[in-house]
Chains A and B, each alone.
Chain A
Amino acid sequence: MQYQQETDYTKRLDAGLWRRLIRYMKPYHKHLFGIMATMAVSALCDTIFPLLTREAIDTFITGGASGGRLWFILRYAGTVLLQTACIFTFINLSGRAECGINRHIRKLSFKRLQELSFSYYDQTPVGFIISRMTSDTARLGETVGWGLVDLFWAAAYIVITAVAMFMLNARMALLVLSVVPIIAVTAVWFQKRILAGYRVVRKTNSQITGAFNEGIMGAKTSKTLVREEANCKEFAVLTGTMRSASIRAAVLSALFLPIVTSLGSVATALVLHRGGTEVFSATGLVTVGTLAAFVQYATGIFEPISSIARIFADLQASQAAAERVVSMLETEPEIFDRPEIVEQYGDSFNPRTENWPGIRGDVEFDHVCFHYSTGEEVLDDFSLKVKAGQTVALVGETGSGKSTIVNLICRFYEPTKGVIRIDGEDYKNRSILWLQAHLGYVLQQPHLFSGTIRENIRFGRLDATDEEIEEACRMVDAEGFILEMEKGYDTEVGEGGNRLSTGQKQLISFARALIANPAIFVLDEATSSVDTQTEQKLQAAIATALKGRTSFIIAHRLSTIHSADMILVIKGGRIIERGTHAELLAQRGYYYTLYSNQFREEWEKLAWDSETAN
């Protein structure tokens, strides 16, 4: 659905773009040359067949020769075999080029995606990226792999046929070729319009998918609002548009082939007339066989021309996909390690862990300023010193800028001014991976990957043993529900972990963070409520996770806020109050108001739950 918002068409062919793209396909250049060579041979075979027909007629029927038949059969069979070999080779080569280019570009893109900063992800919906990585790359592979086949066959066929015809009879050759430009212009005109027509159809079609989506997802609401008839009426308008757009596109393409073949038949008629007349001429250069060969050439000439027209129209349509892919490949990450840092500590794909220094966990913000690329100032001259092992709770309304501080600590973003120090050292003097390897991170909405529970926890530390994994689960009291499941630790969690409840996912993500034994722990606490029992477990898990680590918590729960060494109250991107819970309540400032409003809710629910649980 999101895809349709992206432009899928650009006006002019941009040769530079395709050249850049072809450069990314370097490992497959040899395939592309192979395809060109094969297609030339294949086109040659296609030109030879009419010549063989001519020979058969002129030598055996008209000429009455009886010898040389075997030789003729051998040559015919040889051409058949050569053509068969060509077909086999080009399908193989093109397939290899298509699949290979596809894979190569996907790998390059994914690697680039792993390097790109969060600012990229913030601005680009996942749906867009996925369509780049799947349909766009597939389309490029197809266009380059198979478009080239058609293009070179068509070009070679026209050239070789032209040569063959000129050798047979120059005047008749000119007659056949005289229709070529007319067919070419017509074909280009049509192909462009046909493609545009089908583009409209595709767009309408995605609207129909959207309408079905909305109709089905919103069916319950529509029922309560008695919207059934009105919705159906609106839908009928959409399907009506779809029908007329489809018919328009289909009619246009139904018109195309008859017109082009009719133009081709003019060539045939011209050849027949000229040839028929020349047979009787004194020169006697045109034989019946030649005439037959020319008729065959003339009949077939429209095909390569319209196929060239189609390829160019196709290229134009694929160009938007090419632009999107190239722009993704050429996006530079905003956050990266300096070359000398990479030299010393390695990059994200090849870390040199042997050179990594240890970590204690002191965190310092020294006059840090930050604004997103959109411009709004989020942090202004912010300073904070946290000693190893302390817990900092960040409190404020949604959108107040709490997550910015956390993002800076994780180096998902870097300060626009000022320095962040870890253990007294500017964190830009260490590698990104070094920091992130020492970081524990639990998200508000826990994200699990499909696979087993065990695999998900091992994501925290790849070399963790089964015992360590189980130990981590016991620490967050998750073992109980895990063992109750059919396959225990080897239970599949489903896509995004959706076979588990929210609470269970949260516990697993705590275990995953714990097993990494991080020095710095970041927790974006969930606002969504879970049942009382799980809630208790989560509280315990949080307490376990925080023990002995520097922690930053975007806090929503009373007990978490309570146990913090320091509370930062954030409003509109500024820290307006800081202190402990008691100090802040006593101030009767913003924290007091926030607390009495926002947490009353939780309070009521707790009261209610503890009562009904009895």
Chain B
Amino acid sequence: MQNRSKNMPENLFVMRRFSEFMSGSALKYAGSVFAVAVSVLTAFLTPLLIAGAVDAVTATMNGHGDSPVNLPGFLAGWFNARGGAEYMARHIWIVAALLVAVSLLGGLFQYLRGKWSAEASETIAERMRTRLYAHLLNMSYDYHVKAQTGDLIQRCTTDVDTVRRFLASQVIEIFRTVIMVALALSLMSTIHVKLTLISLILIPPLFGLAFWFFHWVQKLFREADEADGRLSAMLQESLTGVRVVRAFGRQRYEDKRFNVCVDAVHDESMRINRVMAVYWAGSDMLSMAQTGLTLLFGVFFAVRGEITTGNVLTFVSYISMLIWPIRQLGRILQDLGKSIVAMKRLYEILDAPAEADTPGATEAPLNGDIEFKHVQFSYDSAHPVLKDVSFTARAGQTVAILGATGSGKSTMMNLLQRLYDPTGGEITIGGREIRTIEKKHLRSRVGYVLQEPFLYSRSIRDNLAITREGAEMDALRKVASVTASDGFISQFKEGYDTMVGERGVTLSGGQTQRIAIARTLLRDNDILILDDSLSAVDTETDRSIREALKDGRSLTGRTPTTFIISHRLTTLADADLILVLEDGKIAQQGRHEDLIRQPGLYQRVYRIQAALEDELKSGRFAGNAAQP
């Protein structure tokens, strides 16, 4: 913000670019600028009418009743044709009526200005929000893995609002001030040039003072914001940790810590307040002095007969009308910097490339065999995650994958939904290279339950039906019971209509996983991936879910090829194919019966498992053998 002047060309570019959001609202905008002009004009007319009336009365009292009236243009002509000042003074109700009429007209346009500029700016804000949202959703999976969510949300809300405010009021306000100054200058200078100059003498310093002050005070505001942030953070921490505070009896200590933060907030706000007091008192004094000067010199010129009493009143009114917008202009121009920064921050989001599909990718049947041929993958070239993965899964098989944390299990599954594309080797589904299959099509036929699935903050019913809008209640019940969720859902007071998340119940990890599986099962899948999706579910439930999955498959006649990442031996034992992933490669593959006979990792793990069964049978603890 400080080096705004240096960035001027770039700033202009951002603002010009931003006009893309304004297309379609331009007419409304032009309309509100026009309305501002009209309302300014009427506002300037009122003092002229009053001045004319005062002068007419004065002239009549002084016996110059036949002199022409002091009014602009056609109005003057109308009165002069009927006898000039005396006529006007004796029919002052006409002026009074005109006054009300002018005020109503001005009010009408003031209203139109507010209406049109709100319509324009809110439409633009809506466009910005919708586009940001759509853009974010269309970003790649990788973008969201790395995204700073807090910052993104901040930009989409606070920055959009800064820009909206700028468009809704500040731009129009700038126009208004410029029109006012121009109009005041031209009207005043036709009356008396010298008095005009005197009346404007303190205006530039007032503007400069405002401009400089609001630039300077921004630093203080930032510091106050930071102190506020520290206070909230301290509170957040202390209150979530209230158990620790109490357990150690640290109430007094926390109280002191809080006092330090709250004192800092207090002192920062007081600092701002002190400079505000000086600024407002000072600039108000300048404003009052300016009005005083105008009055004084006005009287001086009136006594000399150069202008009328009405003119003096006109000048005084104009000056008091001008001063406030001029002071605000200084502030608005400072805020302009903030709006431009906000626009730039929004463009940083919009300029990040959205996810693209391979050119020429098409739909393809996905119910064939899946083959990995020397697949390699790395997020960055320095650390390969998958080094050489080859295997074939027959259509309809259940494939279990196991391996230590970080061995690349999830990455391998991400490739099957084309959340990432392999950096080497190839994957084929039914013989078709995966990169030639359209992403959206692939993802809609490959059911992927993430390790930490996300539920939307809506009802359980809507969360389930998210994969198949308008699904029948029976269908929902069925998938819920397959995943052993129907039980706990029915226990909620509102059953399937229970809201999930902050506005409703907090589900446990296992419950979340089960609902996530259920919603995936609700749609037709050619391939199904459970990425450690049963880790938070106990072994018994795990088994019954998997059995139900199998039954369900035979029921619908559909047999999705299923991948299950798990380290549960019970899960592995039931699989058609087990892949043991180690260090980016497939160390062992085969069926449970084969692998337990092969010397290797799988066999050793299996043997320790057997020892546990022994212990349980004998009732004595034999676990020390396995204790690390």
Q: Which residues of B contact A516 (CB under 8 A)?
A: 248
Q: How many Å lie between the Cα of A76 and that of B291 in the bound state?
A: 10
Chain A, Cβ-Cβ closest to B116: A254
Interface assignment of A246: CB less than 8 Å from any CB of chain B = yes
Interface assignment of B137: CB less than 8 Å from any CB of chain A = yes
Contact B54 A84 (CB under 8 A): no
A115, A226, A585, A598: the one within 8 Å of B443 (CB): A226
Q: Which residues of A contact B156 (CB under 8 A)?
A: 212, 216
Chain B, Cβ-Cβ closest to A120: B242
Q: How many Å lie between the Cα of A60 and that of B312 in the bound state?
A: 12
Contact B626 A62 (CB under 8 A): no
Flag the segment in B189-197, B448-456, B489-497 that touches A. B448-456
| Number of residue pairs A-B, CB distance < 8 angstroms | 429
A interface footprint on B516-557 (CB within 8 Å = 1, 0 otherwise) = 100110000000000000000011100000000000000000
- Overall SS of chain B's interface: helix
Chain A residues 246 to 272 lying within 8 A of chain B, measured CB to CB, are 246-247, 250-251, 253-255, 257-259, 261-262, 264-266, 268-270, 272
Q: How many Å lie between the Cα of A259 and that of B110 in the bound state?
A: 10
Contact B609 A604 (CB under 8 A): yes
Q: Which residues of A contact B289 (CB under 8 A)?
A: 80
Contact B96 A269 (CB under 8 A): yes
A57, A211, A215, A254: the one within 8 Å of B115 (CB): A254
Q: Which residues of A contact B309 (CB under 8 A)?
A: 57, 61-62, 288, 292
A64, A251, A512, A535: the one within 8 Å of B303 (CB): A64
Q: Which residues of B contact A87 (CB under 8 A)?
A: 277, 280-281, 284
Flag the segment in B145-153, B324-332, B470-478 that touches A. B145-153
Chain B residues 275 to 311 lying within 8 A of chain A, measured CB to CB, are 276-278, 280-282, 284-285, 288-289, 291-292, 295-296, 299, 302-303, 309
Contact B139 A219 (CB under 8 A): yes
Interface assignment of B419: CB less than 8 Å from any CB of chain A = yes
Q: Which residues of A contact B383 (CB under 8 A)?
A: none
Interface assignment of B129: CB less than 8 Å from any CB of chain A = yes
Please report the total number of A residues contacting B with Cβ < 8 Å: 160
Q: Which residues of A contact B285 (CB under 8 A)?
A: 80-81, 83-84
Q: How many Å lie between the Cα of A601 and that of B539 in the bound state?
A: 7
A262, A443, A603: the one within 8 Å of B626 (CB): A603
Given contacts A84-B285, A114-B255, contact A279 B239 (CB under 8 A): no
Contact B114 A220 (CB under 8 A): no
Contact B115 A217 (CB under 8 A): no
Cβ distance B506 to chain A, nearest Cβ, rounded Å:
11
Q: How many Å lie between the Cα of A291 and that of B619 in the bound state?
A: 107
Q: How many Å lie between the Cα of A111 and that of B251 in the bound state?
A: 8
Chain B, Cβ-Cβ closest to A259: B107
Flag the segment in A234-242, A304-312, A382-390, A419-427 that touches B. A234-242
Q: Which residues of B contact A607 (CB under 8 A)?
A: 605, 608-609, 626
Cβ distance A179 to chain B, nearest Cβ, rounded Å:
12
Q: How many Å lie between the Cα of A280 and that of B123 in the bound state?
A: 57
Contact B130 A447 (CB under 8 A): no
Q: How many Å lie between the Cα of A269 and that of B621 in the bound state?
A: 101
Cβ distance B102 to chain A, nearest Cβ, rounded Å:
8
Contact B57 A276 (CB under 8 A): yes
Chain A residues 47 to 83 lying within 8 A of chain B, measured CB to CB, are 49, 52-53, 56-57, 60-62, 64, 73, 76-77, 80-81, 83
Contact A92 B243 (CB under 8 A): no
Chain B, Cβ-Cβ closest to A612: B404
Chain A residues 8 to 65 lying within 8 A of chain B, measured CB to CB, are 49, 52-53, 56-57, 60-62, 64
Interface assignment of A544: CB less than 8 Å from any CB of chain B = no
Chain B residues 129 to 164 lying within 8 A of chain A, measured CB to CB, are 129-130, 133-134, 136-139, 141, 144-145, 147, 149, 152-153, 156-157
Interface assignment of A213: CB less than 8 Å from any CB of chain B = yes
Contact A114 B457 (CB under 8 A): no
Interface centre among A5, A439, A441, A611 (most CB of B within 10 A): A611
Please report the total number of B residues contacting A with Cβ < 8 Å: 152
B interface footprint on A88-110 (CB within 8 Å = 1, 0 otherwise) = 10011001101110110011001
Interface assignment of B13: CB less than 8 Å from any CB of chain A = no
Q: How many Å lie between the Cα of A484 and that of B453 in the bound state?
A: 35
Interface assignment of B187: CB less than 8 Å from any CB of chain A = no
B113, B270, B316: the one within 8 Å of A254 (CB): B113
B93, B102, B247, B467: the one within 8 Å of A410 (CB): B247
Q: Which residues of A contact B503 (CB under 8 A)?
A: 5
Cβ distance B231 to chain A, nearest Cβ, rounded Å:
7
Cβ distance A206 to chain B, nearest Cβ, rounded Å:
9
Contact B269 A219 (CB under 8 A): no
Chain B, Cβ-Cβ closest to A431: B249
Chain B residues 588 to 628 lying within 8 A of chain A, measured CB to CB, are 601, 604-605, 608-609, 612, 616, 619-621, 623, 626-628
Contact B292 A126 (CB under 8 A): no
Interface assignment of A474: CB less than 8 Å from any CB of chain B = no
Interface assignment of A459: CB less than 8 Å from any CB of chain B = yes
Interface assignment of B108: CB less than 8 Å from any CB of chain A = yes
Given contacts A102-B266, A586-B619, contact A225 B248 (CB under 8 A): no
Given contacts A103-B263, A273-B93, contact A126 B239 (CB under 8 A): yes
Contact A222 B137 (CB under 8 A): yes
Q: How many Å lie between the Cα of A230 and that of B444 in the bound state?
A: 13
Q: Which residues of B contact A210 (CB under 8 A)?
A: 457
Q: Which residues of B contact A609 (CB under 8 A)?
A: 404, 628
Chain A residues 418 to 451 lying within 8 A of chain B, measured CB to CB, are 432-433, 436-437, 439-441, 443, 447, 449-450
A interface footprint on B251-284 (CB within 8 Å = 1, 0 otherwise) = 1111100110011011001101110111011101
Chain A, Cβ-Cβ closest to B268: A99
Interface assignment of A462: CB less than 8 Å from any CB of chain B = yes
Interface assignment of B352: CB less than 8 Å from any CB of chain A = no
Q: How many Å lie between the Cα of A439 and that of B141 in the bound state?
A: 47
Q: How many Å lie between the Cα of A452 and that of B281 in the bound state?
A: 45
Q: Which residues of A contact B623 (CB under 8 A)?
A: 558-559, 562, 603
17 contacts between A and B (CB under 8 A): A49-B291, A76-B296, A88-B280, A103-B265, A114-B245, A130-B239, A250-B114, A255-B111, A269-B99, A273-B92, A276-B53, A280-B89, A437-B248, A443-B244, A447-B241, A604-B609, A607-B626
By Cβ-Cβ distance, the 7 closest A-B pairs, closest first, are: A254-B114, A258-B107, A95-B273, A441-B247, A250-B118, A276-B92, A265-B103
